[in-house]
Amino acid sequence: MATPLAEPAIARRRFAGLLAVFREPRVVFAGGFLLVLLLAAIFAPLVAPHDPLEQDLMLNTLPPAWSADAEPGYVLGTDSLGRDVLSRLIYGTRVAFTVAIVAALAAGLIGTLLGLLSGYFGGWVDAVVSRLIDIWMAFPPVLLSILLVAVIGTGVTSVILAIVVIDWTRFCRVVRSETLQQAKMEYVDAAVTLGTGRGKILLKEVLPNVLPVVVVLLSLEMGIAVIVEAVLSFVGLSVSSDTPTWGGMIAEGRQIIYQAWWVLVFPLVLLTATVLAFNQLGDGVRRLTDPVLRR
């Protein structure tokens, strides 16, 4: 446990670690890219050059702006219904980030809480949580998510719920393992010797040392959530067909790839770049905040 005299030094070290995060190139580039996408999603009505649902069959399958047959005002071209691809990508970012952030945070909260309780208290708590994990992991995750959405109906809320129901186990397993290791450390024994309550030890001693792993898992989970939403959109089980999504654009582009390759390629590239950015951001933060990896 930290004494009152040591607390300022601890705070300074944590602040220095936070500054180091922003000096890591991969964190800066990945975080900057994701920040740009997030701002584009928030201010989509101001950023998007056209209404993403506006159709004009006279302007269908227009090529990107650098092509010879391009039309001014359509930077990334149009799809088979004459809808602006860039505007649909921007509005699709809204759905992707909403699902990624909300689903990852909810799954992380549930999984981290259960993992901490299971790893620290052990006994029947650990047995119950472990059996739940075993049961959940017996089902293929993608098939289970499709089944859940098919049963409870389409929509952003249904997609988020399906991801949370499936992926809380990822957080729980890793956090449980980390908690088991931290519970054996000397600082926990010292806190017990000083008469600190188990709940306080768990929250103030164990949890801060588990957080670097949770941060990495959150970043990875956001990337996974983006992929799951795209898969569900691709098969028509995400939001309504009127709402632009990256998966829906990929599904449409696959059908007209020989006439308009850009309808498939641009959302596919953006989806891949977003997932890679989430992964790089989490890995970079982990390397800077984990004391073992810093040595």
Q: Is 71 left (phi over 0), alpha (psi -120 to 50) or beta?
A: beta
pLDDT of the residue at 87: 93
pLDDT of the residue at 35: 94
Residue 158's closest CA among 147, 169, 170? 147
pTM for this entry: 0.83
The angle at the Cα of 117, spanning 113 to 119, to the nearest 5 degrees, equals 115
How many C-beta atoms lie closer than 10 Å to residue 89's C-beta? 23
Is residue 4's pLDDT more than 50?
A: no
- As a whole number of angstroms, the distance between CA 46 and CA 35 comes to 16
- As a whole number of angstroms, the distance between CA 196 and CA 32 comes to 42
pLDDT in tens, 119-171: 888 788 888 888 888 888 777 777 777 788 778 777 888 888 888 888 888 89
Domain boundaries, the chain: 7-294
CATH 1.10.3720.10 fits 7-294, yes or no: yes
Q: Is 240 left (phi over 0), alpha (psi -120 to 50) or beta?
A: beta
pLDDT of the residue at 22: 60
Q: Cβ contacts of residue 206 below 8 Å, gap of 6+?
A: 116, 120, 179, 182, 183, 188
Q: Hey, what amino acid is at 218?
A: L
Pinpoint the alpha helices (H) of 153-206: 156-182, 186-193, 198-201
Which residues are registered as beta bridge partners of 78?
Answer: 84
